[in-house]
Each structure stands twice: as structure tokens, then as C-alpha cells.
Structure 1
Amino acid sequence: MGPDNVFAVILGVCAFIFIIFFLWSVPVGLWITAKFAGVKVRPFRDLLAMRLRRVPPAALVNSLITATKAGLKINLDKLEAHFLAGGNVGRVVNALISADKAGIELPFERAAAIDLAGRNVLEAVQMSVKPKVIKTPPISAVAKNGVQVIATAQVTVRADIKKLVGGAGEDTVIARVGEGIVTTIGSSESHEAVLENPNTISKVVLGKGLDAGTAFEIVSIDIADVDIGINVGARLRKEQAEADTRVAQAKAEARRAMAKAEEQEMKALTKEMDAKVIEAESEIPLAMAEAFRSAKLGIMEYYRLRNLMADTDMRKAIAVSSNPEGGGSQDGVFSAI
């Protein structure tokens, strides 16, 4: 093989490698598809540059073709910038098409911001066209008469495209609706008023402007179910009565213990006084003996005193026999004689 043939082979191999690299770096088929779709895509400045920046050309070009066919004018550079920022290009384009067909004003910049904020912009557009129904969990509240009322509501919301970035989500709407239902039931005079006209809850809650600061617009609030729970007022009154009873019992026990202590104290005092009386009576014979020795009391006077005491005892015995209930015993200074 001559030098010319070797050069030709090397040249052919280089040409083959170049063609393979060109077809890989510049997707000719994608460029032809875009050309026939009326989308202006430059092979080297767009397709090759996206390859070098590690951006899949098919994802962006196909989305651009879809937008162009839908009548939207979108710059390929904006799609690439959104992709490099971590956004979902296909979802943003589909959201723009849906918003355009529904007559909703949605610029590309706002749709890209909503997508980068972590919200599903396509679902938001669909929710703007077809409102979503959010069912709240059972909400318990107590009317003024103390009866518990359990209500379940269905909240119909429409997405507000302008408030999706920075607006509160569904959890905030449910919490606010629950708060409004609790307030409305709590201000009702009785549970019967709530059962008779549950739509008053919807009217009052809907008029509070609960969608302020949220990403949604509340279309309607419907009470799906109303049930009666326990009688909280009666239970509280029962518990209060039981507590009052326990307090009264404690106070009565304290008074009984105090009376018992006073009784024991009086018994001790009585015994002390009895001891003093016995001590005093034990001194009577000594005093009489001293009176005899000092001639202050004579024998005749002593006998007259004894006769008087005997006469008195007889009179008392007669009185006791005629009136058994009024009996008594003699307690005198001479009982020990």
C-alpha cells in the first residue's frame, strides 16, 4: 500500500469521525423538524451551543415548536435560561398554552417564577379554569348553650395567578375556614339554631375575606355535614358540682376534727376541775376538826347541821319519787362528812 492510499484511509477515518461528532453535536433531525415547523433554530449557535452547555436540545426545541404551533412567541434563550435555573420547561410551556386558550393573562416571566418557586404552574392554570374543592376535616365548636357541634365544610377555591408567588397555600385556607366556623358556632345562642339554618355559617365565614394573602380565591363555602357532639356545658357543671361537693366535705371534715379536738380539750378540763373539787372536799374534815379544836363549832350546832342535811335529803328523795325525770344527787360542801 502506497503513501497515497494510507493518507486516503486516514483522511476517510477523520471524515467519518467528524461526521459522527457533527451528527451528535448538531441533531440534524431536530433541526429539520424545527425548520418545517416554522421555528428558527440555528444549528451551531443554538443546537451546538446547547450541547456544549449540557442542555438537551430536544427538550427545549420541542417545547418551542409546541408553543409556536399554539400561537405563542417565546424566545429560545429564555427557555434555556429557565432550564439552567432548574425549572421545568415543558410544564411552563403547557401552562402558557392553557392560559392563552382560557384567556388568562400569564407572561412567561411570571410562569417561570411560579415554577421556580416550587408550585405547579400548569395545575394552577387548570385550577383557575376549573375551581378545586377542598374538604375540611371535622371541626368541633361549642354553642352558647354548651352543646358541641361538629361541622364539615367544602371550600371551592380558584387559583389566583398573581398571588401564587408568596401566597399562602391550602393549609392556610383550611385553617382560616375552621377558625371562622368555630367563631360562628360559638356565637350562636344554641345548637338548634345552627341545625335549623347551617347556611348562616357559610355566609358569615365567606364574608370574612379569608382568602386575603393566599394564592387562592374562595368561590364558595358549603356546609357538607353538621352533627351534635357531647353536652360540654352539662359536663362542666357536673364537674363543678362534684368539685364543690369535695370542697364542702373537706370543710365539714375540718370542722368535725376541730369540734373533736375541742371536746377532748373540754374533757381534760373537766377532769382537772373534778380533781380540784376532790382535793377541796378532802380538806373539809380537816377544817371541821380545826373548828372543833378552836371552839368555833359546837357539838349541838354540828348535830343541828346534820339534821338539816338529813331533812334536805329526805325532801329531795320525795321530790325524785314524785318526779322521776327530774331526779338529781346532792352536791354540797358537806357531802364528804
Structure 2
Amino acid sequence: MQDPITTLGAFVVPIGILLLVIIFIFVPIRLWIAAWASGAYVGLSTLIAMRLRRVPPARIVTARISAVKAGIKISINELEAHFLAGGNVVHVVNAMISADKANIPLSFQRAAAIDLAGRDVFEAVQMSVLPKVIETPRIAAVARDGIQLICLARVTVRTNIDRLVGGAGEETIIARVGEGMVSTIGSADSHKTVLENPDHISKHILAKGLDSGTAYEILSIDIADIDVGENIGAKLQIDQANADKQIAQAKAEERRAMAVALEQEMQARVVEAEAEIPKAMAQAFESGKLGIMDYYRMRNIQADTAMRDTIAGNPTDNDSQLPRV
């Protein structure tokens, strides 16, 4: 017969091993020890609850240890809430540490809001410390004298933490600077004035306050390059002259066509009138108003006229409409 103690031990040992395995799986003992040793104590129940809420304890505890070591107070609940909202707790904590070292006021709530807004809060803090240079594309503008100038500018900006949430981005800065360059060059009387004083462009743009409503603060605008382009004014005048020429030609052709049509109409009326001559002469013969001798004298005059025209080299047929007798 087996010893009861031996039998009980045979059951207790596997159960104890199973419990230890479950504890090591659900209870991150190493993280608990690391947090306790770093002064950022986190209870075992809290770590187990993180497992149950599907929150990675390693990420939360690591971020809290970094914050505590940097002298920043952030609770476990705030870190968990930000992670569950889809944020990057490591970036937020690193950004707060960088901002604290650079004497930039940045609370956890603001950093979390910036992170949840889709912006890289750590990069934003870095840009606040080290300004960024944005290069605009080559922008073409025309001065009042019609000469085109092609400019390239470099805009130095730094992040405005207070306006990072809801503020416009780099595309808006580039668009506003481009608009300012076109406006400044377009208001210049001559392109030579712009070439002589390119800093006028920068001063004019900066005076407009183009960084309002954006997530950046413009520190300086430097004109890196200015090239002289085409004579747009001359090209426009040439195009206008060609257009006026074509319009004049079209109007002249219209007048010519109307004149030809009027001439043809008058010729048709003449032919129509000449066709009535034989009828009129016949009526004159019938009524006795025209005699045979009158007719012969008229025929002689017409024949004499035709002979003179023939001698002059311009033969005509003057008797084509007169009746024969």
C-alpha cells in the first residue's frame, strides 16, 4: 500500500510547477523588479491587469522608468489610456524628456494630443530646438516691365508647440511664401529693382505674417537664387498684335465678300433691266412713239461705238439687246 504523503506529493508537485509557469507567464516578475529598483514602482496586480487588458507591460513600464529617471511625473493610468487610444507612449515620453531638457513647456496632455493628431511629437520638439529649412520650388513671377523672374527661396522654421494641433503644415508655408514672392515681384516697376535688392522680397513676405494659423514659426526667408526668364510682356504684345491682325483680316474679308455680293447683285439688276429693253422698244413701235428711222439712227450710233471700241482693243456687244428688223 502506497504512502499517502507520497501520493499527495505526486499531485502537489505538478500543480505547483503549473502554477509557477502560469505566474511567470501572466506576472512579469522581471519588469516588477526593474520598476521597483528604478524607483518607478508598479504593483504586481497592475501588471497582471495590463496583461488582461492586452496592454504590453514592457512598453508601459519602460516609458514610466524613463520618465521617472528624467524627473517627469506620469502615472501608469495616463500611459495605459494613451496606448489604448492608439498613441505611441515611448515617443510621447521621449518628447517630454527632450522638451524638459530644452526648457520647453510641454505637458503630457498636450504631447498626447499632438501624438493622437497624427504628428510626430518627438520630431516636433526636435524642430523647436533645431529649426528646419524648407526649400520652395522654383517660382516664376513677372514684374511690371514684363520680364519674368524665376526665384528659389529657403524658409527657416521652427515648430510652434501651442499651434501644432490643428495648425497647417509645411505645404501651407510653401504656398504662402510662393504667393508672397509672386506678389512682391509683380508689384515691382522693373525686374532690375528686384535683382538689385532681393532682400526686399524677404522683408515684404515676413511683414505679412504668413505663419499665422500654421504649426510653425517662420524665422527667416532667404532668396537663394534669382534667374531672368522670358520677356512675357513682349510675347503678350506679339500675341495681341497677331490676334488684332487676324481680326482685321477677317473683317476685311467680310467687307470684300459683301462688296462682291453687292457687285453681283447690281450686275444682276443691270441684266434684268437690259432684258426689259426689247419689250420697251416693241411697245414703243406699237404705240407709234418710235419710228423706223429713229431705230436705224440708234443702230448706226451703236455700230459706230462698237467700231471705236474694237479699234481701241475693247470690243463690246452693244446691240445684243436690240431687236432686229
Name the TM tier (shorter chain). 0.7 to 0.9
SS at match of 2:55: coil
- Residues 1:156 and 1:283: Cα distance change in structure 2 (over 3 Å): same
Q: CA deviation at 1:113?
A: 0.9
Deviation digits for residues 219-253 of structure 1 (CA, Å, limit 9, x no counterpart): 11111111222222222211211111111111111
Structure 1: stretches of 5+ with no match in the other structure? 293-301, 325-330
- Residues 1:274 and 1:97: Cα distance change in structure 2 (over 3 Å): same
Q: CA deviation at 1:278?
A: 5.3
After alignment, is 102-111 or 4-13 more displaced?
4-13
Give, in whole Å, the separation in 1 of the partners of 2:188 and 2:250. Answer: 39
- Residues 1:265 and 1:17: Cα distance change in structure 2 (over 3 Å): same
Please name the residue that 2:43 is paired with.
Answer: 42
Letter in 1 for 2:271: K
Letter in 1 for 2:77: D
- Residues 1:4 and 1:247: Cα distance change in structure 2 (over 3 Å): same
SS at match of 1:72: coil
Please name the residue that 1:203 is paired with.
Answer: 203
Number of matched pairs:
310
Please name the residue that 1:18 is paired with.
Answer: 19
Deviation digits for residues 274-293 of structure 1 (CA, Å, limit 9, x no counterpart): 4455555667877889979x
After TM superposition, list the pairs within 5 Å mapping 1:208-223 onto structure 2. 208-223=208-223
Structure whose alpha-carbon radius of gyration is higher = 1
Among the aligned pairs, what percent are the same residue?
55
Give, in whole Å, the separation in 1 of the partners of 2:284 and 2:33. Answer: 147
Q: CA deviation at 1:265?
A: 2.6
TM-score, normalised to structure 1, is 0.82
Please name the residue that 1:295 is paired with.
Answer: none
Q: CA deviation at 1:147?
A: 2.0
SS at match of 2:212: coil
After TM superposition, list the pairs within 5 Å mapping 1:233-312 onto structure 2. 233-277=233-277
Please name the residue that 1:296 is paired with.
Answer: none
Letter in 2 for 1:39: A
Give, in whole Å, the separation in 2 of the partners of 1:196 and 1:289. Answer: 97
Deviation digits for residues 91-144 of structure 1 (CA, Å, limit 9, x no counterpart): 011001000000000011111111111110000000000001111111122211
SS at match of 2:241: helix
RMSD: 3.2
Give, in whole Å, the separation in 2 of the partners of 1:70 and 1:121. Answer: 18
Deviation digits for residues 154-174 of structure 1 (CA, Å, limit 9, x no counterpart): 111110011111111111111
After alignment, is 111-120 or 251-260 more displaced?
251-260
Give, in whole Å, the separation in 1 of the partners of 2:268 and 2:238. Answer: 45
- Residues 1:57 and 1:278: Cα distance change in structure 2 (over 3 Å): same
- Residues 1:3 and 1:228: Cα distance change in structure 2 (over 3 Å): same
After alignment, is 100-109 or 276-285 more displaced?
276-285
TM-score, normalised to structure 2, is 0.85
After alignment, is 211-220 or 54-63 more displaced?
54-63
Letter in 1 for 2:37: F
SS at match of 1:87: coil
After TM superposition, list the pairs within 5 Å mapping 1:309-324 onto structure 2. none
- Residues 1:5 and 1:248: Cα distance change in structure 2 (over 3 Å): same
SS at match of 1:24: helix
Letter in 2 for 1:264: Q
Give, in whole Å, the separation in 1 of the partners of 2:107 and 2:279. Answer: 118
- Residues 1:21 and 1:276: Cα distance change in structure 2 (over 3 Å): closer
